[in-house]
Structures are given as C-alpha cells and as structure tokens.
C-alpha cells in the first residue's frame, strides 16, 4: 500500500457548493448526541485501532499478521454499518432537500403575502376609507339640507298657525259683532213694531179726531141751523136785536170751530211729524243695521272662505311634511344601511388583514423553525466534515511514519464523495464514499 496525503481525492459536497467551505471546528465542541450518526463507525475504528480519513485514501498497516477470518468479519460488520449510515444519510439528504424546497416555497408565499399585505395596506383601506368618507360627507350634506327644509317648513307651519290663530280671533270678533248686530236688529225690529203700533194708534186717534171734527162740524151746523131758526123766530119777534145777536153768536162759534180745527190740525201734524221722524229714524237705523249685517255676513263669508283655504293649505303642508319626513326617513334608513354595510366591509377587511397578518406570523414562525433546523443540520454537517478532515490528516501522518509498506494488510480506504455513497471491494481494500448534502 502507498501512503496517501491530504492532497488525495476529495470531492466538493453540495453543502460546499451552496454555503462555501465550512469553518475549522474542533470535535470536542460538539456533543455526543450530534455525533450519533457515526457512532458505529467510531466503535469499529477503535476496536481495530485503525484511524479513518474521510477526505483522503489511506492504507492501514500493522507489524503483525492479521487473521483473515477476523478481517472478513470486521469487513462484513463495517459494510453493514456503512450501509445503514448510507441509508440514514440518504434519508437526511431527502429530508434536507424537502426542507429546502419547503423553505423556498414558503419564502415565495411569504413574499407574495407581503406584497398582497402591502397592497392591501396602501390601496384598499385607503380607497375604502375615501369612499366611506365621501359617502359620509354626502349623507351629512343631505341630512343638513333635510334639516334646513324641515326648519323652513316648521317656520312656515308656525307662521300659518299664527295667521290661523289671528283669523280665528278675528272671526270670533266678527261673530260677536254679528251677534251684537242681530241683537240690535231684534231691538230695532221691536222698536219698529212699537213705532208701527204707535203709528196705527195715532192713525186711529186721527180718524177718531176727524170723526169728532166731522161730528162737531155737523153739530155746529145743526147748532147754527137751530140758532138761525131760533134767531129767525126771535127776529121775527124782534128783528132789530136778534140779527146782531145771531151775528155775534155765529162769529163766536165760527171762531171756536176754527180754533178747535187749527188746534186739532196742529196736534195731528205734530204727532204725525213726530211719528214720521221716529219712523224715519227707525228706518235709517234698520237700514244701517241691515247694511252692517250684510257687511258682517260678507266679511264672515270671506273669512270663512279664507279660513277654509288656510285649513286646506295647512293640511296640504302637513301632508307634504309627513311625506317628506317619510321620504327622508327612508333615505336616512338607506343611508344608515349603506354606512353599516361599509362599516361591515371595513371590519371584514380588517379581519382579512388580521388573518393575513396571523398567517404571515405563522409563516415567519415556520420559517424561523426551519432556519433553526437548517442551522442545526449545518452545524452537524460542518462538525462531521471537520472531524473527518482532522482524522484524515492524523491518519496521513500515521501512514507516513509506517515502517512495513510491503506487508499484506487489509486496507480501509475512505473517500468523501459529493452526491452518492459507493461501497466496493478491490484487492482486499474497501472504498467508502460519504454523501453530505
């Protein structure tokens, strides 16, 4: 066998290609649990007192002859141990590759979620908030306009109520005036009736006086005729004295009759004038009362029509106000539903953002766990590689100092390969390739 130095065949692992050369670490700094994967190989090497160099091919030599049966048993045990280690290393490689793929996938998902989260934070809430604020400003403007319309309608209603109260008061006053006029009319009618009765009584008295005057005239004529006859008789008896006496008596009676007639005529005329004045006054008062009553009736009719019109206008305004209140109530209800819907959308978006944040946090936790596991495997691999390199160097030094290079020995050669593990037997020598991901 030929001694092989540190410059023998060492192939770069996938770990070296990915992360670069490992740092030089002492095997003492690692715990026994991290070296559990190579415990069987260590036991084999310690039992045969043969060091193993993973990074260089070496030949084990001894001063004494070895038994081939023992060597075969050792080779079989060594092959079984290395096969198990090969399987474990392949499983670890597969797990490590799956972890790397999972980390890449999670990093891609994390980047997509970060981009989506940034977009959601920058655009959607702002747009939704702007829409909500615009809708809220529009609703407030409409509510202010409705409040102004309501105040205006309330002012108009109050003004109409004041006008209606004034008209009602005026109507009550006119009704009182009408009642007073009707009472005065009743009194005037009673006065007119009394005046008519007085006139009729006076007319009867005048008729009776005229009858009495006629009777007096007749009586006067009869008395005159009787006096003339008597005078004539007396004249016949004593003509000179009777003529003068009759003339004197006739003169007296005529003067008395004229006087009575004048007094009766004057009294009748005065009574007739008084009654005519009273009747005229009553007729004038009655005419004025009728005019006032007609005027009051016209005013009452006009006020009644005006009150009816105002009542209709008030009812129309009340119906319009109720319709506006119903319409504005429905619009306010729809606006409140819109505001509630927008608030629910905002709450849903907040919940979505919180869910994305939780997912992102979960992904970060998974990533951290994977980073920790990857770092653990990295340290295990770096420690194993450093330990193998140190042993290879030590075995190279032992081979260089060997004194029997031509004796027949069982050569145990270990070679560190990059992607696969190969176990072969050639010229009583074993070649071993260890796979490090």
The partner residues of 423 in beta bridges, in order of sequence, read 432
Residue 140 and residue 132: Cα distance in Å, rounded?
12
Residue 255 and residue 30: Cα distance in Å, rounded?
183
Show Cβ contacts of residue 142 under 8 Å, excluding neighbours closer than 6 positions.
331, 335
pLDDT < 70 regions, the chain:
1-75, 78, 123-129, 224, 227-228, 230-243, 245, 400-437
Residue 363 and residue 106: Cα distance in Å, rounded?
7
Q: What's the confidence (pLDDT) of residue 4?
A: 37
Residue 219 and residue 217: Cα distance in Å, rounded?
5
- The arrangement of strands across the sheet holding 429-435 comes to 411-417, 429-435, 423-426
Q: What's the confidence (pLDDT) of residue 128?
A: 62
**pLDDT digits 0-9 by tens, 204-223:** 877 887 777 777 777 777 77
| Pair 57, 4: CB distance under 8 Å | yes
| Pair 97, 374: CB distance under 8 Å | no
Q: What's the confidence (pLDDT) of residue 231?
A: 57
Listing DSSP states for 171-194 in one string gives HHHHHHHHHHHHHHHHHHHHHHHH
How would you class 54 by CB atoms within 10 Å of its CB: exposed for 0-12, middle for 13-18, buried for 19 or more? buried
Q: What's the confidence (pLDDT) of residue 72?
A: 67
Element (H, E) at 413: strand 411-417
Largest CA distance in the chain: 243
Nearest to 242 by CA among 251, 232, 250, 252: 232
**pLDDT digits 0-9 by tens, 238-263:** 455 566 767 787 787 778 777 877 88
| Pair 435, 419: CB distance under 8 Å | yes
Cβ neighbours of 287 (radius 10 Å): 11
Residue 430 and residue 78: Cα distance in Å, rounded?
10
Mean pLDDT (the chain, rounded): 70
Collapsed DSSP state (helix, strand, coil) of residue 24 = coil
Phi, psi of 424 (to 5 degrees): -140, 160
Residue 384 and residue 350: Cα distance in Å, rounded?
50
């Amino acid at each position: 066998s030929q001694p092989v130095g540190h410059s023998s065949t060492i192939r770069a692992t996938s770990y070296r290609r990915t992360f670069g050369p490992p740092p030089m670490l002492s095997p003492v700094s690692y715990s026994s649990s991290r070296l559990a994967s190579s415990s069987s190989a260590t036991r084999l090497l310690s039992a045969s007192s043969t060091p193993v160099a993973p990074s260089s091919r070496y030949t084990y030599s001894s001063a004494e002859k070895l038994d081939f049966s023992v060597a075969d048993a050792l080779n079989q045990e060594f092959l079984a141990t290395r096969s198990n280690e090969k399987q474990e290393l392949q499983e670890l490689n597969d797990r490590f590759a799956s972890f790397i793929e999972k980390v890449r996938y999670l990093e891609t998902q994390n980047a997509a979620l970060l981009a989506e989260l940034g977009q959601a934070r920058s655009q959607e809430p702002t747009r939704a908030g702007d829409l909500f604020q615009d809708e809220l400003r529009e609703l407030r403007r409409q509510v202010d306009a409705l409040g102004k319309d309501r105040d205006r309608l309330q002012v108009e209603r109050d003004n109409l109520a004041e006008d209606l109260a004034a008209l009602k008061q005026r109507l009550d006053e006119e009704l009182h005036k009408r009642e007073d006029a009707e009472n005065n009319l009743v009194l005037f009618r009673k006065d007119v009736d009394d005046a008519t009765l007085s006139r009729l009584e006076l007319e009867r008295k005048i008729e009776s006086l005229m009858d009495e005057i006629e009777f007096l005239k007749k009586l006067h004529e009869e008395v005159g005729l009787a006096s003339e006859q008597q005078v004539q008789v007396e004249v016949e008896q004593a003509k000179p004295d009777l003529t003068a006496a009759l003339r004197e008596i006739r003169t007296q009676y005529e003067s008395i009759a004229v006087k009575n007639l004048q007094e009766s005529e004057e009294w009748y005329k005065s009574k007739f004038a008084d009654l005519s004045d009273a009747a005229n006054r009553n007729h004038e008062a009655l005419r004025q009362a009728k005019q006032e009553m007609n005027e009051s009736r016209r005013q009452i009719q006009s006020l009644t029509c005006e009150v009816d019109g105002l009542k209709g206008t008030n009812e129309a305004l009340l119906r319009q106000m109720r319709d506006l209140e119903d319409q504005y109530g429905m619009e306010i209800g729809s606006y409140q539903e819109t505001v509630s819907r927008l608030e629910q959308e905002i709450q849903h978006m907040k919940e979505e953002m919180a869910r994305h944040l939780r997912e992102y946090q979960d992904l970060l936790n998974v990533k951290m766990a994977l980073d920790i596991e990857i770092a653990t495997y990295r340290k295990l691999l770096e420690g194993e590689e450093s330990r193998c390199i140190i042993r290879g160097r030590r075995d190279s030094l032992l081979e260089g100092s060997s004194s029997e290079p031509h004796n027949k020995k069982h050569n145990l050669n270990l070679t560190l390969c990059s992607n696969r593990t190969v176990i072969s037997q050639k010229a009583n020598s074993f070649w071993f390739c260890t796979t490090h991901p």
